[in-house]
Each structure stands twice: as structure tokens, then as C-alpha cells.
């Protein structure tokens, strides 16, 4: 029987995956985790790099639908709880570090 992995082990395997404390409800399904894909220049089209790097919420609301799997809508991003948005924002900023 395989040993069950800890949350820390799972996080190390998927460092860009965030488990939401307050899952997103969408059309009968629940999104409990989102994975951030590594952004490229195209993801930042129309956004200020400075705004994203300084975690301006308006910029993140535009950016996150472009780099989340499953893809969150702008409305879903705007509705994220503060702890979830903070966790996601920390991961986004790490891409620029």
C-alpha cells in the first residue's frame, strides 16, 4: 500500500498549485485547486509589468485568467477570498524574482 503524501510533499511536487481555502463554485462544479502556468510576455499584454510586480489587484484580475488552470474568469478572480488571493499573488510575484 502506497504511503499517503503530506501537503508539504504535494506542494513540492506542484510548486505552482494553490489549494483554495474557499473553493470557487462554477456551474455545478467546485474548483478546489488552481495551478499557475509560468507567464510569458504574451500573458502580460496590455498590462503594466510594474503593476503586476507590485501586486495591484486590477492588474492581477486581468492576468490571472490568462495563467490559471483551470482558467478562472475575471469575475471569479475578483471574488476570491483575501487569503486565497494573497497565496496566489505570492506565487505570481515569485515568477518575477
Q: How far apart are CA 96 and CA 77, in angstroms?
A: 20
* pLDDT tens readout for residues 27-48: 999 999 999 999 999 999 999 9
Q: Is residue 38 domain-resident? A: yes
Range of the domain at 83: 14-94
- 70 falls within a domain: yes
Q: Structurally, how many domains does the chain consist of?
A: 1
Q: Examine residue 8 and state whether it is found in any structural domain, yes or no.
A: no
Mean pLDDT, rounded, for 9-33: 85
Average pLDDT, the chain: 89
Is residue 6 pLDDT above 70, yes or no? no
Q: Say what the pLDDT of residue 85 is.
A: 97
Neighbour tally for 68: CB within 10 Å: 20
CA distances from 60 to 35, 71, 82, 85 (A): 15, 13, 13, 9
CA distance 35 to 97: 18
Confidence label for 8 from pLDDT (cuts 50, 70 and 90): low
Amino acid at each position: 500500500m502506497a504511503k499517503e503524501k503530506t501537503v508539504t510533499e504535494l506542494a513540492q511536487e506542484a510548486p505552482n498549485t494553490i489549494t483554495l481555502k474557499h473553493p470557487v463554485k462554477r456551474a455545478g462544479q467546485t474548483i478546489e485547486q488552481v495551478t499557475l502556468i509560468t507567464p510569458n510576455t504574451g500573458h502580460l499584454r496590455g498590462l503594466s509589468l510594474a503593476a503586476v510586480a507590485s501586486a495591484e489587484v486590477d492588474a492581477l484580475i486581468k492576468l490571472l485568467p490568462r495563467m490559471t488552470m483551470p482558467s478562472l474568469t475575471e469575475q471569479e478572480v475578483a471574488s476570491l477570498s483575501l487569503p486565497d488571493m494573497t497565496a496566489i499573488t505570492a506565487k505570481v510575484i515569485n515568477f518575477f524574482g
